[in-house]
Amino acid sequence: MRGLVAPPAGPAALPALSPAVLSGPSGPSPRTGGPADRRRRLYDLTGRVAIVTGGGTGIGAATARLLAEYGADVAIAARTVADLERTSAEVEQATGRRCVPIRTDVKVEDDVVRLVRSTVDELGRVDILINNAGGTRMGLLATLPTKGWDASFDLNVRAAYFCTREVGRHLIAQGSGAIVNISSDAGLHGVRGGAHYASSKAALQMFTSVAAAEWGPHGVRVNCLAVGPVASARAVAAWQVAGIDTAEFSSSTPLGRPGTPDEVAQAILFFVSDAASYITGQTLAVDGGPHMGGIRET
């Protein structure tokens, strides 16, 4: 198993993007040149390199694997070495693509600078950034300490700014790239006990819009997902500790269940692929549907 990558002395040159080769998890289309072939080409990521923060578990790990299945090499970043190395080994074994684990605290500016330099040094370039690291500790507004407010913005907004700025320099220089920020439906609708969290996720959505407007002329697309409840292993454990009844909160969504990390990863794949080549500055809700009151069918 490969160890963590040490930071290089400086950034490496960015090579030209190699021609796309048809490569999807379902295998080649039996009718080359037909509609199925063209659809797969839209999603083909061969020759591209992605950075996924929060990549050791949950949505991040599922995203790393899916991007690799579609041909990308991936650098995954998180603070927990064991999670990174386990996910790296699983992705490489399953897909045959490179998956480089780089220990990173995205709240620390120097760590983010090293993350991007290490990725370019190890994998040769960077084309895709998934700002997935995020989270918070919930607390009512009346008793929320200042450090709780600041911690939410440090992780959910400031860290995404660090990563976007550092990766963006490469994307602008090469005239292409895609960034996806992982927000929350709390940033759209709010959540009681999470004024700090909802506000930081709403800020991330506005950051997405402004970055897309400024960088679109350089060929860089920036989009966002507003994610609802997702039943990752860690989320389920946290719900159990907090005494949260998943059936109760799931019943408030039309689909009647929490999502899965793989379902979120599919939306990320769409945004970074050529299938979304004319989409930028958007926030897509991946949350099981609109929460509405009124009369229920029985």
Tracing tokens 């780089």 back to the chain, one arrives at 102
Classify the C-alpha dihedral 46-262-225-184 as positive or negative. Answer: negative
Give, in order, the Cα–Cα distances in Å from 177 to each of 9, 81, 184, 212, 219: 24, 28, 23, 11, 7
Q: What are the tokens at 63? A: 């995203």
Residues forming the active site: 197
Tracing tokens 């700002």 back to the chain, one arrives at 131
- Bridge partners of 40? none
Q: CB-side exposure of 130: number of CA atoms within 13 Å?
A: 35
Largest CA distance in the chain: 64
Beta-sheet pairing, 128-131 with 49-53 = parallel
Phi, psi of 126 (to 5 degrees): -150, 135
CA terminus-to-terminus distance, the chain: 54
Q: What span, in angstroms and rounded, lies between the C-alpha atoms of 230 and 226?
A: 11
Q: What span, in angstroms and rounded, lies between the C-alpha atoms of 66 and 107?
A: 26
Residues 286, 267: contact at Cβ < 8 Å?
A: yes
Provide CB contacts within 8 A for 295, sequence distance 6+. none
Q: What span, in angstroms and rounded, lies between the C-alpha atoms of 122 and 49?
A: 10
Phi, psi of 278 (to 5 degrees): -110, 25
Using DSSP's 3-state secondary structure scheme, residue 140 falls into coil
